[in-house]
Amino acid sequence: MSAQLFVVATPIGHLDDMTFRAIEILKSVALVAAEDTRQSAQLFKYYNIATPLTACHDHNESNKIDQLIQRLKSGENIALISDAGTPLISDPGFKLVRAAQENQIRVVPVPGACAAIAALSAVGLPSDRFSFEGFLPSKSSQRLLQLEKLKDETQTLIFYEAPHRILDCVTDMMHIFGEDRPVGFAREITKTFETIKKMTLKELVSFIQNDHHQQKGEIVLIVGGNPVNKDVDQDQLDQLLLRLLQDLSVKAASQLAADLTGIKKKIAYQRALELTQNQES
Ligand code: SAM
């Protein structure tokens, strides 16, 4: 008989941010696989959870999987937790979840805290479309390359960053995204020194430089998407392209539309092709 693997979110700071269901499940399963058993022991003590813990982290996940899958196959329910927040979100667990799936074991999410979503819900930047980017590379040269790739992204961007790199990271962002790009800074969410602010990248660099406390603790950065394309909707683009296509080739019309609106040439070209084909059919 196959049992279930529960993927359980735990608090990102304030211990009371556990759901009733999460507590019940952690109490009822046979075993809890935790990123750091000492860290989770504190949570277990707070909620009187006596379930045995076993370590499952980045360095032993591959070896541990076989044991955990065998126990699941023998009918024991297991829960997976990380040190904070939702497992698999910049945390271990992906290999175990994939192995469970491959072994036809049902994987059950038990939702709760996640720093990225908590930050996004409070910083006041568009939340209709966003891209979770996790941690940027620690080396500045690689970080700059990665930021360059994201420069034209119109969705809101969410990053995790370590406190000792925050100033370098925000400075690199300012150089690539520009001084005026809006940014949300969410530090120590749900903890005593919680700081949630929205400003421009230039302002954030000075804010962090002038107050060293802001270079401590846990931080989420939320960067507004590239605003260049934001004002062009599909109807406007279509109207512009249709007018340009009366006098120009698809290539020339899409190039001009891209120059005028700031949208990517590839997107304008694809749409110009579609419009031309619609007209012909
Ligand atoms: N799995 C976690 C989640 O669901 O958010 C993320 C774990 S990741 C290893 C740790 C990073 O998450 C930190 O470096 C920080 O960027 C962010 N983070 C976690 N807790 C936070 C908090 N209370 N306030 C701000 N950021 C936090």
84 pocket-lining for ligand 1 (C-beta < 6 Å): yes
CA gap 198, 214 in Å, rounded: 14
Q: Which residues pair with 161 in a beta bridge?
A: 219
188 pocket-lining for ligand 1 (C-beta < 6 Å): yes
Minimal CA–CA distance to 229: which of 253, 271, 268, 261?
Answer: 261
Minimal CA–CA distance to 220: which of 39, 84, 17?
Answer: 84
Minimal CA–CA distance to 141: which of 176, 180, 184?
Answer: 176
Whether the CB-CB separation of 187 and 199 falls below 8 Å is answered with: no
pLDDT string in tens for the chain (281-residue length): 569 999 999 999 999 999 999 999 999 999 999 999 999 999 999 999 999 999 998 888 888 999 999 999 999 999 999 999 999 999 999 999 999 999 999 999 999 999 999 999 999 999 999 999 999 999 999 999 999 999 989 999 999 999 999 999 999 999 999 999 999 999 999 999 999 999 999 999 999 999 999 999 999 999 999 976 556 788 889 999 999 999 999 999 999 998 888 788 888 999 999 999 887 77
> Of all protein residues, whose CA lies closest to atom 11 belonging to ligand 1?
160
Instruction: Specify the pLDDT at position 278.
Output: 84
Instruction: Specify the pLDDT at position 231.
Output: 61
Ligand 1 centroid to residue 160 C-alpha, Å:
7
237 pocket-lining for ligand 1 (C-beta < 6 Å): no
Of 80, 117, 219, the residue with max ligand 1 atoms within 8 A of its CB, to mutate for a pocket test, comes to 219
Torsional sign, CA 27, 29, 30, 33:
negative
Q: How far is CA 168 from CA 139, 150, 194, in A?
A: 10, 17, 21
Helix (H) or strand (E) holding 101: helix 94-102
Instruction: Specify the pLDDT at position 281.
Output: 74
Q: Measured from the CA of 86, which atom of ligand 1 is nearest? A: 4
Q: Measured from the CA of 13, which atom of ligand 1 is nearest? A: 23
Of 110, 117, 185, 220, the residue with max ligand 1 atoms within 8 A of its CB, to mutate for a pocket test, comes to 220
CA gap 252, 203 in Å, rounded: 40
